[in-house]
Structure 1
Amino acid sequence: MSHLLPCAQFKREDQEDLGMGLQRMACIARYSVTIFAAGLTAAGAYANELKCEGPFARNAGHEQLVSAFGEANVAKEIVHEEGMEIKASVVFPDDPEKRLEVIWWDEEASRQPSIVRTLGTGWSLPKGVRVGMPLNEVEAANGRPFLLYGFGWDYGGTISDWKGGALARLPGDCNPFAIFSPEQSSGEDARLKVSGDSEFGSDTLK
């Protein structure tokens, strides 16, 4: 992915409101744990907050997940990541809102989280960031605008840089990763203006 033009150059006064919401959430730690969330929506109370501590700490393993959530709520499954089949541990595997996939650095031993991701609304990042939350609320939680890639390709809608905001690091020293998607009701012309592998500032998309 090449570094493209500054986001300020993409600002358009006549840009149609895309109504974007967070689609996927994850965390990637500096020691490399990622916590994903996709399709953020604004809900009332905050969901369970994800931190790279306790059962998700850098040296944690499948056993810690079982201890924290109960044997009946943790399963080993094959999940897909970047086109590959990977052995993972899944918390609440049968609950779409609370399902949490944990991909391990040590895949065979199921130890050392690499990616922790959710597609449901049952979990949140700090400051209540959760799947389905509108872009402007995520920006407010971050405390400043951030950069994300244009839509319509493999990494479309992915946050590329939190710009040193409050969401740049999570407790336990891991990096949050989030993907946005435009509302279905947004016009095709509006989506095309923010498509492709260029970076856009969140403050230009509201």
Structure 2
Amino acid sequence: MKRLFILVALFVPVFLNAQTKLSQAIIDDFSARVAAHYQLPHDSITGYIAEQLTRSGNAGLDIDSTVFDLKKDPVALDAALKYLYQYSDCNRQRFITNLRSLELQTNSVFPIATYTANKFKGDTKSLLDDKKDFLTTYTGPVTGKKPPATIAEVAAANQAAASTPVATNSTASESNSAASPEGAATAAANTAPAADTRNWEVRPLFQVRTPEQLVEMYGAANVTQHDAVNLAGDKDGEAYVIYPDTDNELEVQFDGENGNILTFSHYPSKWKSPYGIKAGDPLDKLIKVNGRPFKINGFEWTDGGRVSSWNGGSLEGKNVIIVLKANNTGDPKQYDQVTGDKTIRSDMAALKKLDVIIESVAFKAAN
């Protein structure tokens, strides 16, 4: 009997640990398979996971970097498992089937299934309710993605784009043929500008640490330095501007150990920004991304139009700074309701009539 108690004492902790912790080999396997399937077009599982990670804010500023390397982010890894469990209707057998469809190693499937089912067994109702709500706006998987580009890859792509000659209608025969309708069409095609093949991903900019790297990536002619100015109009250090004086102008500010700050205040812009948020986007889109209404400082006052609180939404704590502006300010009865030293809710009826858009948006990522 004493021997039996000893055996129980030895094996029960081991058994419990197997239910509450995944080995690094299993984590690496799951991470690798999710990354591989995320590169497949229209993969429903990884598309669902990525969209839910973005919606919940668990993906941080860079959804692709997160999905491609879940093993480096324990919080995102657990969230990915949770959303795969949710995708499987919180049904263990369905969850196992979906794990197998990711082509995991056989000895990874059951430990992951047990770990996930145990971890989220008390959340079944809330997960199913959340899924029902999520599916009302979900438009399908966004997959077929490539791993995040490196600084060197961005530099190479932009240099190649800069060296691509623009087609011109320079030959005599083309000039003569332009007299006919067919020739005119040919001439138009020959004079069309080359396709823009520059790299518009902002993700590599969070990796940049020096102005020299910016010049390497975008060329000396496309990077300038100026004083950074805060919302109060005061100087706030130095900043570097990529593609200055164009719709694609982007400001980069290095903040030492606090990370880089990327600010967009021009539109329409070609940059592919975090969360899909850009300057010029309407207020309704921002509310949708956050998942709930938020609070705004009254216009025409200190920090006017700035989002003061995300009210616990998806953008809470994500270092996203947004300033809004109202385009239709001609009706004082409407505009006066949202101006002055006050805080207003983003779902306030008056805002809907004022054509409120994002004036500027800044993203900050820690080093």
TM-score range normalised by the length of the shorter chain: 0.5 to 0.7
Q: CA separation of 1:124/1:193 partners in 2, compared to 1, >3 Å: closer, same or farther?
A: farther
Q: Match of 1:130, SS?
A: coil
> For the Cα contact (< 8 Å) 1:149–1:157, is it kept in 2?
yes
Could you tell me which residue of structure 2 aligns to residue 164 of structure 1?
312
Deviation at 1:66, TM superposition (A): 2.1
Q: Name the residue aligned to 1:91.
A: 242
**2:256 matches 1:103:** no
Candidates 198, 201, 205, aligned match of 2:345: 201
Give % identity.
32
Quick check: 2:298–2:343 contact (8 Å CA) kept in 1?
yes
1:66 aligns with 2:215: yes
Q: Do the aligned partners of 1:55 and 1:61 also contact (CA within 8 Å) in 2? A: no
CA distance in 2, matches of 1:64, 1:134: 33
Q: Partners in 1 of 2:243 and 2:259 — Cα distance?
A: 17
Q: Would the aligned equivalents of 2:329 and 2:335 in 1 still touch at CA under 8 Å?
A: no
Question: Deviation per CA, 1:24-54, whole angstroms, max 9, x where unpaired?
Answer: xxxxxxxxxxxxxxxxxxxxxxxx4544xx3
Contact 2:209 2:254 in 1 (8 A): no
Residue 63 of structure 1 aligns with an amino acid whose one-letter code is E
Q: Which residue of 1 aligns with 2:320?
A: 176
CA contact (8 A) 1:102 1:113 kept: no
Q: Work out the CA distance in 2 between the residues paired with 1:167 and 1:69.
A: 30
Looking at secondary structure, tell me which structure has more helix per residue. Answer: 2
The Cα offsets for residues 144-196 of structure 1, whole Å up to 9 and x where unpaired, read as 11111111113111001122323335xxxx51111111123541111111112
SS in 2 for 1:89: strand
* Equivalent position to 1:154, from 276, 292, 302: 302
What is residue 145 of structure 2 aligned with on the other side? Answer: none
The answer to whether the 8 A contact 2:227-2:239 is kept is yes
User: 1:87 deviation in Å?
Assistant: 2.6
Question: How far apart in 1 are the matches of 2:214 and 2:291?
Answer: 32
SS at match of 2:278: coil
Question: CA contact under 8 A between 1:50 and 1:125: conserved in structure 2?
Answer: yes
The structure that is strand-richer by fraction is 1
Q: Deviations over 1:50-71 (max 9, x none)?
A: 44xx3224x7221222233233
Equivalent AA in structure 2 for residue 61 of structure 1: T
The CA deviation string for residues 61-118 of structure 1, in whole angstroms up to 9 with x for no partner, is 21222233233321222343342274321111232x1111222335xxxx97553212
Structure 1 CA distance, aligned partners of 2:210 and 2:260? 11
Distance in 2 between residues matched to 1:94 and 1:183, nearest whole Å:
22
Q: What 5-or-longer segments of structure 1 have no aligned partner?
A: 1-47
Q: 1:75 to 1:162 in 2, by over 3 A?
A: same
1:156 aligns to what SS in structure 2? coil
Max radius of gyration: which structure? 2
Residue 115 (1) aligns with residue 264 (2):
no
- The amino acid that maps onto 1:183 is N
8 Å Cα contact 2:206/2:260 also seen in 1: no
TM-score (norm 1): 0.61
Taking a change above 3 Å as real, the CA distance of residues 50 and 150 of structure 1, as seen in their structure-2 partners, is farther
In the TM superposition, what is the alpha-carbon distance from 1:132 to its structure 2 partner?
1.4
135 and 124 in structure 1: CA distance in 2 versus 1, 3 angstrom threshold: farther
Q: Secondary structure at the match of 1:203?
A: coil
What pairs with 1:32-47 in structure 2 (closer than 5 Å)?
Answer: none
How many angstroms apart in 2 are the aligned matches of 1:56 and 1:71?
Answer: 19
Corresponding residue to 1:77 among 226, 240, 248 = 226
After superposing on structure 2, the runs of 4+ consecutive aligned residues of structure 1 that deviate more than 6 Å are none
How does the TM-score come out when normalised to structure 2? 0.36
* CA–CA distance in structure 1, aligned partners of residues 342 and 301 of structure 2: 11
SS class of match (2:344): strand
Corresponding residue for 1:134?
282
Q: Is the 8 A contact 1:126 1:167 kept in 2?
A: no
